[in-house]
Amino acid sequence: MKSIDTLGILIDDGYRLAIYCEDQNCRHWVWADLPALAERLGRDHGCLHDDLTPKLRCTKCGGRRIGIRLHPPHRPGTLWPR
Ligand SMILES: [Zn+2]
């Protein structure tokens, strides 16, 4: 199993990335625009928390405490492994 560690792999495999603000009063979150991020940072840029969050800030409150959460691709018709 290959590791999921760059923006290019996320895009190719259909992953989605949620970016959320960790400010208790804000809680703003968005789906990451992965193609735009890859355009800006490069497809080989890491997609792990420490790679991305220093480059991001909340678009609502401007906060810099950002979290990310990776959502695996939804593949209709495939069964969960047992
Ligand atoms: Zn915020």
Ligand 1 center–CA 29 separation, angstroms: 8
pLDDT tens readout for residues 31-67 = 999 999 999 999 999 999 999 999 999 999 999 999 9
Ligand 1 center–CA 37 separation, angstroms: 19
Ligand 1 center–CA 34 separation, angstroms: 20
Ligand 1 center–CA 58 separation, angstroms: 5
Q: Which two tokens stand for residue 65?
A: 């405490």
pLDDT tens readout for residues 14-40 = 999 999 999 999 999 999 999 999 999
Q: Is the pTM of this model over 0.85?
A: no
Q: Could you give the 3-state DSSP secondary structure of residue 58?
A: coil
Domain spans in the chain, listed from the N-terminal domain onward: 7-71
Quote the strand ranges of 1-82, DSSP E: 16-21, 29-31, 66-71
